[in-house]
Amino acid sequence: MKIVFLNRYFFPDHSATSQILSDLAFHLADAGFEVHVIASRQRYDDPGAMLARREIVRGVTAHRVWTATFGRGNLLGRALDYLTFYPSAAFRLAMLASKGDVVVAKTDPPLLSIAAWPVARLKGARLVNWLHDLFPEVAAALRVRGFAGVFADMLMWMRDRSLKAAACNVVLGDRMSMRLQSRGVPAEKIRVIENWADGSAIRPVPASKNPLRREWGLEGRFIVGYSGNMGRVHEFDTLLDAMERLRDLAGLEFLFIGSGNQRDWLEEEARRRAISNLRFRPYQRRERLAESLSVPDVHLVSLRAEMEGLVVPSKFYGIAAAGRPIVFVGARDGEIAQKVARFECGIAVEQGDANGLAEAIARFARDRILRERLGRNARAAFESRWDKRIACAAWRELLEAVVRGSR
């Protein structure tokens, strides 16, 4: 059986969708499947990278197609990168897929299922959509110009057709599942498989043994961290307001690791507000994730309330693997907030409640026992639910069922 994945990024790229895809592709190849990935030649933060057009990596054949290379700096350039990926990927898929194969289309670029569905149908392959977000709903919620009215309705209709025609649609949470069902996608064609992290590679690293703490001059400090994408779906106003309220908390340091289209704004806003205890670091190599995720004593995760059911922050799983408590900022009844409450691994704060966020951070700063207890809870929940081995086993079971034609 041949499995063909479609996603704009693949190993060695460090973006979240690339890392998750790479984990699954390598697992399936190790299990004896014939695995192919159709991706671009770009990296997430380097559009001009020009990775090899074709190579075999750990048993997975990567086919990297031509796209425009404007990068993520502005919406127009990103749109052109997307628009050139669709036909390039569809053409390569038509050359590669054959009857009985399984095509797994992710959501970078958005609406990739629309391009994959007719090709899979033409070639007699089975389509599985792996939905990391729901588009164009995300664009509409962010009020991106042009994604409203008749145009958005047409895109949604085309997207829905491709989902209903698929053998299965994998979503990241129950709320996303409910959103699809409300659009008429049958429940039996939806499967929830959450994202994950590699628990053998990401483990808690004590502060006293963490070389990054020394390298970054953070020894003896209480660190509140944010790790990953600083994108439009994340909410930072509440955090900035809380940081202003915590100016006088001795020993407190905020550490942001990663990038995204809100990073420049965050740096400028911190300067404008004279927030001096905020540091930024770039994405860290994957082999140093255990160290970088263990630098903070507490991690922040944020999501705009209107994004619930459309996006699930993948950073949550790596934080849980590192055994660190989570402070979630967003909807108190949202997907991540419910996990935080159910597994007692952090505190959820409503979006806009800067006082509540400041109090939660201050509480963690003065209560080491609480931090350690909630961190242990996070790691225990991770080992039982969100480890890579569990998710990959669920994916393998699903793909084998798709090949058999069962739901």
The model's pLDDT over 289-331, given as tens digits with 9 standing for 90+, comes to: 999 999 999 999 999 999 999 999 999 999 999 999 999 999 9
**Is 154's pLDDT higher than 70?**
yes
Q: What is the pLDDT of residues 347-384, one digit of tens each?
A: 999 999 999 999 999 999 999 999 999 999 999 999 99
Helix axes 237-245 and 354-366, enclosed angle (nearest 10): 60
Q: The domain 207-385: what is its CATH number?
A: 3.40.50.2000
Instruction: Quote the percentage of the chain above a pLDDT of 70.
Output: 99
The DSSP code sequence of 145-209 is TT-SHHHHHHHHHHHHHHHHHSSEEEESSHHHHHHHHHTT--GGGEEE----B-TTT-----GGG
pLDDT one-digit tens code per residue, 178-219: 999 999 999 999 999 999 999 999 999 999 999 999 999 999
* CATH homologous superfamily of 2-196+387-404: Glycogen Phosphorylase B; (3.40.50.2000)
pLDDT band, very low/low/confident/very high, at 71 (cuts 50, 70, 90): confident
Instruction: Give the CA angle between residues 389, 126, 313 to the nearest 5°.
Output: 45
pLDDT confidence of residue 340:
97
Instruction: Please report where in the chains the tokens 């041949």 appear, as a residue.
Output: 2
387: which DSSP letter?
A: B
pLDDT for residue 47: 83
Neighbours of 280 (CB within 10 A): 16
DSSP classification of residue 306:
G
Nearest of 111, 58, 81 to residue 9 by alpha carbon: 81
In the predicted model, what is the mean pLDDT of the chain?
Answer: 95
- Residue 70: pLDDT band by 50, 70, 90 thresholds? confident
User: Is it the case that residue 19 has pLDDT exceeding 60?
Assistant: yes
> In the structure encoding, which two tokens stand for residue 312, read together?
């699930």
**pLDDT higher than 70, residue 386:** yes
- In this structure, the number of other CB atoms found within 10 A of the CB of residue 2 comes to 16
Every domain of the chain with CATH number 3.40.50.2000 lies at 2-196+387-404, 207-385
Q: What does the alpha-carbon distance between residue 206 and residue 210 come to, in Å, rounded to a whole number?
A: 6
What is the value of pTM for the model shown? 0.93
- Predicted confidence band of residue 144 (pLDDT cuts 50, 70, 90): confident
Q: Which residues of 160-178 are buried (b: 16+ CB within 10 A; e: fewer)?
A: eebbeebbbbbbbbebbbe
Q: What is the pLDDT of residue 177?
A: 98
**Residue 277 pLDDT greater than 60, yes or no:** yes
pLDDT value at position 24? 98
C-alpha dihedral over 84, 89, 92, 93, to 10 degrees?
-150
DSSP string over 273-298: TT--SEEEEPPPPGGGHHHHHHS-SE
The pLDDT score that the predictor gives to residue 46 is: 84
pLDDT of residue 78: 81
Query: What is the average per-residue pLDDT within 33-57?
Result: 93
